[in-house]
Amino acid sequence: MISSHQAQCLLAAAQDKAKLLNVPVNIAVLDGAAHLKAFVRMDGAVLGSIDVAMKKATTAALFQTTSESVWEYCKPGAPAPALEISNGGLAPFAGGLPLKGARGELLGAIGVSGGAVSQDLEIAQAAVAALSD
Amino acid sequence: MISSHQAQCLLAAAQDKAKLLNVPVNIAVLDGAAHLKAFVRMDGAVLGSIDVAMKKATTAALFQTTSESVWEYCKPGAPAPALEISNGGLAPFAGGLPLKGARGELLGAIGVSGGAVSQDLEIAQAAVAALSD
Amino acid sequence: MISSHQAQCLLAAAQDKAKLLNVPVNIAVLDGAAHLKAFVRMDGAVLGSIDVAMKKATTAALFQTTSESVWEYCKPGAPAPALEISNGGLAPFAGGLPLKGARGELLGAIGVSGGAVSQDLEIAQAAVAALSD
Amino acid sequence: MISSHQAQCLLAAAQDKAKLLNVPVNIAVLDGAAHLKAFVRMDGAVLGSIDVAMKKATTAALFQTTSESVWEYCKPGAPAPALEISNGGLAPFAGGLPLKGARGELLGAIGVSGGAVSQDLEIAQAAVAALSD
């Protein structure tokens, strides 16, 4: 499972990237069972993104994949319509990433929301890269 | 109503099929009133599929039909948009099957989730076939 | 974390004890993060006890103690009134037990409901004893 | 409103105090509108206390007082029975404190849970003291 030290490392790297991009975001870090481990709302981040950051991270943790991957299952014409309303509501778009350990085991997940979806993803990726350093 | 013996028979047959397919799944068995009768999460099944298995079985029990049949009512252009958000959230895609008795009466329902949608359906069908043996 | 094999062992031992006591119960087994692993409703168990069995197990998993221990914190005059309404509702009375591994680590929890509270506890204890055999 | 800098100061002081007391806790910091600003779950803190820390902080923010003060309104014989089930559930016991600015304006609230109630309060007080330094 993810440690407090790892969670703080993720939050720090994500905030550094967000400042570079000049976009305030919400950042949620969950453990591998989708329980909240750490969270930060940067000054100026919109309130509506608190829940979105949580749901992106939850989506990544519960399905052990990127949040946007879940959309491949439930988008129009895909085999699992309405999958997004399961589990209290998923966020099947980019910005949620699973966190894997050295042997591929699930450590947890991170979810970022507040910027453009592409920025949210970039910030989450910067955090994950910092974790594996 | 479904008996404990029947529920265990369903869970055993579903797990046998899932092992053959090499895909760990969650399996929920409900009675005809959509109350939980038995449940198993196989080792390695993703956490996000617990709720999906429950919702597939609930969908099948509440509407006395296959879970994917409900999509015919609420898909784009169909007469009942948003039906899928009723009843605490349905799962209108394959893997949920109603269980019928010898005279067609509703005994309960089974829901399977964790593999590809087609695998989930195959596993549910194997369980239903075992029940009627 | 608890395995499917261990969960089935718990359910079997609990049902054996319940049959000896001649009282049909609901039995829920959770993992250490309070996610459902396995469940059985014995024939004749009252519907209202499904949720109670789940909540007893959740209480034991989330607080890593017996479900009734939580009442010591929130009973009249105790320091944490209304603790029982946290976490979606706890069941702070006997019948929920944490499951510990050989080194004291949390494996999961079991919750039993449907009989007298003392019977529920006795059944849960029989299951835990079987697990450690 | 509370800033990210202030929130981090609160989390750091709370964790320092918790380490001194040798008790791992969950710490939630909300803004004055009861929206989450920052959160940390220390390694080893029980999962059941995540929600309790949130509810203590929510209680303090929504009523602009200490979380335990709310109990004076809803305890047996007091004029507002069941107040604790309003607002999605309050936690009317110690560990939640409002955060006030220099002119007495509400900045936010902190909630701590995971130790004995008296420890949780002590940790929250240490955080508030650090904020006003």
Question: Using H for helix, E for strand and C for coil, what is the string for chain C?
Answer: CCCHHHHHHHHHHHHHHHHHHCCCCEEEEEECCCCEEEEEECCCCCCHHHHHHHHHHHHHHHHCCCHHHHHHHHCCCCCCCCHHHCCCCCCCCCCEEEEECCCCCEEEEEEEECCCHHHHHHHHHHHHHHHCC
- Whether residue A116 lies within 8 A of chain D, CB to CB, comes out as no
- Whether residue C33 lies within 8 A of chain A, CB to CB, comes out as yes
Separation of alpha carbons D130 and B126, rounded Å: 63
Report the predicted TM-score, pTM, of the whole model to 2 decimal places.
0.97
Question: Residues for chain A: how many in total?
Answer: 133
Contact criterion met (CB below 8 Å) for A123 and A72: no
Residues of B in contact with C6 (CB under 8 A): none
Q: What percent of chain B lies above the pLDDT cut of 90?
A: 96
The pLDDT assigned to C1 comes to 85
Residue ranges in chain A assigned as alpha helix (H): 4-21, 48-63, 71-74, 117-131
Three-class secondary structure of residue D12 per DSSP: helix
Residue range A110-128: mean pLDDT, rounded: 98
Fill in the amino acid letter for A101: G
| ipTM for the whole predicted complex goes beyond 0.90 | yes
Q: What is the pLDDT of residues C54-85, one digit of tens each?
A: 999 999 999 999 999 999 999 999 999 999 99
Please check the confidence at residue D93 and state whether its pLDDT lies above 70.
yes
- Whether residue B117 lies within 8 A of chain A, CB to CB, comes out as yes
Beta bridge mates, C31? C108
Contact criterion met (CB below 8 Å) for C95 and C113: yes
Residue range D101-117: mean pLDDT, rounded: 96
Beta bridge mates, C108? C31, C99
Residue range D61-75: mean pLDDT, rounded: 97
HSE (side-chain half, CA atoms, 13 Å) at B39: 30
The pLDDT assigned to D110 comes to 98
Q: What is the pLDDT of residues A24-57, one digit of tens each?
A: 999 999 999 999 999 999 999 999 999 999 999 9
Please check the confidence at residue D132 and state whether its pLDDT lies above 80.
no
Residues of D in contact with C96 (CB under 8 A): none
Residues of B in contact with A88 (CB under 8 A): 51
The pLDDT assigned to B32 comes to 97
Separation of alpha carbons C112 and C101, rounded Å: 20
HSE (side-chain half, CA atoms, 13 Å) at A96: 31
Low-confidence residues of chain C: pLDDT under 70: 133
Q: What is the pLDDT of residues B42-67, one digit of tens each?
A: 999 999 999 999 999 999 999 999 99
Q: What is the pLDDT of residues A16-33, one digit of tens each?
A: 999 999 999 999 999 999
Residues of C in contact with D52 (CB under 8 A): 83, 86-87
Contact criterion met (CB below 8 Å) for B98 and B65: yes
How far is the alpha carbon of C32 from chain A, nearest alpha carbon, in Å?
9
E-assigned strands of B74-133? 96-100, 106-113
A partners (3+ CB pairs within 8 A) are B, C, D
User: Which residue in chain B has the smallest CA separation from C46?
Assistant: B35
Contact criterion met (CB below 8 Å) for A88 and A32: no
The pLDDT assigned to A133 comes to 67
